[in-house]
Structure 1
Amino acid sequence: MDNRFNHKTGQYMLKFSPRNYLGEEDFMVAACNETAYRAVKIWPYWQHFSLCVYGPRSCGKSHLAHIWVDRIQKSLPRPIPIPILPAHRVNMKNINKLANENDFLVIEDMDTEINEEAFFHLYNFYNIPGKYVLFTAEQPLAKLPLRLPDLKSRLNIVPCIEIMQPDDEMLTALIAKLFNDRQIIISQEILDYILKHTERSFEFVSRLIAEIDDISWTNGRAVSVPIIREALKNLTRNQQMELFI
């Protein structure tokens, strides 16, 4: 939490760091993610030892991974550490240790460059009763540009469930949640304005709310339509600049 004195109002303004609520009760189930949510929830009755949840950035893949981990913890006599690792950290130096010490594993961001030999061994290590892996990615594993045929053939049979871009109902709930995470109260007018003018993507909405919060805090002003316009303009300009990087 940060604070700043507003000389116009004679009051201190408090800025709360956004909190990540990753419990199952915090996950917003909608048409775009219901299939993925139910697929995670039916563990341990998966038909395969692994599952991949894929979709656009900021769509809730990591949230589902934490729900899965929590579900496992509640099924065990005592809690155990369950690693949640980015895919690029899996290599030939740590694969044996990972597999020997962990019956459950979450591997995120499979779209990044991976050590294919290590993942070939990981697949074989976990393809036995009682061991499970949850993958996350932005695309199905079958579309990864893999060079190792044996790994590609194995990942092609991993069930992959998509989280799609949000509809208006989901966007409305997401906008309200992101402001609530920052302990910012907004009016229905503000919510409707954002919904009307924002891009229809999880990532853009997340960046927009962060930009609105930063502008509001920097200028010592409550969230308003002019601030939203400024935030939208900033993000649009940043996106255009990224095209030339």
Structure 2
Amino acid sequence: MKQLLLDIAPSPPPTLTNFVPGSNIELLQTLGNVIAGSERERFIYLWGGAGCGKSHLLLAIAGIHMRNKVNTAYFACDANTSFAAGSEASCVVVDDVDRLNAEAQIGLFNLYNHIRDEGHAFLLVSGTVAPAQLKLKLREDLVTRLGWGLVYQVHELTDEEKIKAMKSHATSRGLDLSQEVCDYLLRHERRDLPSLMATLDALDSYSLASQRKVTVPLVRELLQAAS
């Protein structure tokens, strides 16, 4: 069974299309305008807790720009991230800004000023909290700049929305997914949507291989084998 889990096809790459919007419809529309070239604001900051979909959206925007042959710089931040590669990019994406150390913050501050002065690039940044709360971790002049553009909270899906998304995904695979199984997954599995979808894919493959329906005992068996 563990080998079965290893053989599951990787999840599709993040796109705006496969992002379940929930309460984030306005944000999704704004990002769609960015792709279409009709959004006038060049600085956007997204914030929210783990599993809400920030990284999905940032990777989606970076991926679309790269496929459109736009010079794109994507930074998954750690303490020592260098932003030198961003100075020539037309699309700059910075994920988890609150992980940066003091020196890296100066680098992003300088890059922000460069983008503002040059007047053509787009900057999309994410963090775990709103700009006002970033002052606990980041230098004040950088925090001020991050709050100058559009600021959106990325709202996590409700349990009802996650169940709807899981059932829709299951239906697309020809899988009959009961409410009982959905409730069990939300109680016992990682609750972010990518993890839930990956588990559904594994369940689908395992149920086909074992010729058994997807039931709570089958889910329990799979999760125990994967732990």
- In structure 1, what residue type is equivalent to 2:99? T
1:168-212 deviations in Å (ceiling 9; x for gaps): 45212432466589x6x53132xx113334259984454455567
In 2: Cα distance, 1:234 partner to 1:14 partner: 12
Match of 1:137 in 2: 127
- In structure 2, what residue type is equivalent to 1:225? V
Does the CA-based 8 Å contact 1:84-1:106 persist in structure 2? yes
Match of 1:123 in 2: 112
Match of 1:28 in 2: 20
Match of 2:219 in 1: 228
Match of 2:154 among 134, 148, 163: 163
Match of 2:52 in 1: 59
Match of 1:110 in 2: 97
- In structure 1, what residue type is equivalent to 2:55? S
1:180 and 1:134, CA in 2 relative to 1: closer, same or farther beyond 3 A? farther
TM-score by length of 2: 0.71
In 2: Cα distance, 1:196 partner to 1:203 partner: 11
Does the CA-based 8 Å contact 2:65-2:72 persist in structure 1? no
> What is the CA distance between 1:26 and its match in structure 2?
2.5
> What is the CA distance between 1:126 and its match in structure 2?
1.3
Does 1:80 find its partner at 2:70?
Answer: yes
- In structure 2, what residue type is equivalent to 1:166? L
Question: SS at 2:182's partner residue?
Answer: helix
How many corresponding residue pairs?
A: 215
In 1: Cα distance, 2:156 partner to 2:190 partner: 7
Match of 2:175 in 1: 186
1:85-125 deviations in Å (ceiling 9; x for gaps): 1122764xx434421x2121111122323422112112111
Does the CA-based 8 Å contact 2:11-2:198 persist in structure 1? no
In 1: Cα distance, 2:148 partner to 2:191 partner: 29
Does the CA-based 8 Å contact 1:165-1:201 persist in structure 2? no
> What is the CA distance between 1:84 and its match in structure 2?
1.7
Match of 1:98 in 2: 86
1:56 and 1:103, CA in 2 relative to 1: closer, same or farther beyond 3 A? same
The 5-angstrom pairing of residues 194-213 of structure 1 reads 194-197=181-184, 198-199=186-187, 203-204=191-192, 206-208=194-196, 210=198, 213=202
Does the CA-based 8 Å contact 1:95-1:118 persist in structure 2? yes
Question: SS at 2:98's partner residue?
Answer: coil
- In structure 2, what residue type is equivalent to 1:146? K
Question: SS at 1:88's partner residue?
Answer: coil
1:210 and 1:14, CA in 2 relative to 1: closer, same or farther beyond 3 A? closer
In 2: Cα distance, 1:70 partner to 1:174 partner: 23
Q: Which runs of 5+ in 2 are unaligned?
A: none
Q: Quick check: which one's helix share is greater? A: 2
1:18 and 1:97, CA in 2 relative to 1: closer, same or farther beyond 3 A? closer
Q: Give the percent of matched residue pairs that are identical in Structure 1 and Structure 2.
A: 17
